[in-house]
Amino acid sequence: EVQLVESGGGLVQPGGSLRLSCAASGFTFRDYVMHWVRQAPGKGLDCISAISGTGGTTFYAESVKGRFTISRDNSKNTLYLQMGSLRAEDMAVYYCARGGTGDPLDPWGQGTLVTVSS
């Protein structure tokens, strides 16, 4: 069974940092583009970052460019999101999802909540 499990969310102060992880199982992880998608409370879905299977190419939405870094460790079947200079507007549930242009965003993990507050 294909499974994605996020971890690392929690409470962080404005300006702080946090690293999210997404553990993948049930498929050949290195063969797939992976994404981070977030959803602020009561708001819509927002694709914030993607990374190629090798990790050599990364993409970011303007809202997080320069503050967040996506990476992956294919030996550990794990995707990461290093978040820095966190702002109140970064508060959201963060999901990881699998898939490239031909088979997008399926499946998703269950999500991890990031709360930014002093």
Partner 1 sequence: DIQMTQSPSAMSASVGDRVTITCRASQDISNYLAWFQQIPGKVPKRLIYSASSLQSGVPARFSGSGSGTEFTLTISSLQPEDFATYYCLQHNSYPFTFGPGTKVDIK
> Which residues would be at the binding site for partner 1 (CB under 8 A)?
33, 35, 44-50, 59-62, 95, 99-106, 108-111
In the complex with partner 1, the residue whose CB is nearer, 15 or 31, is 31
Contact 81, 69 (CB under 8 A): yes
Contact 43, 63 (CB under 8 A): no
Kindly state the smallest distance separating residue 2's Cβ from partner 1, in Å: 12
Burial of 108: CB neighbours in 10 Å, binned 0-12, 13-18, 19+: middle
In the complex with partner 1, the residue whose CB is nearer, 16 or 100, is 100
Kindly state the smallest distance separating residue 85's Cβ from partner 1, in Å: 19
Kindly state the smallest distance separating residue 118's Cβ from partner 1, in Å: 27
Kindly state the smallest distance separating residue 23's Cβ from partner 1, in Å: 16
In the complex with partner 1, the residue whose CB is nearer, 13 or 57, is 57
The two tokens of residue 59 are 């993409």
Burial of 107: CB neighbours in 10 Å, binned 0-12, 13-18, 19+: middle
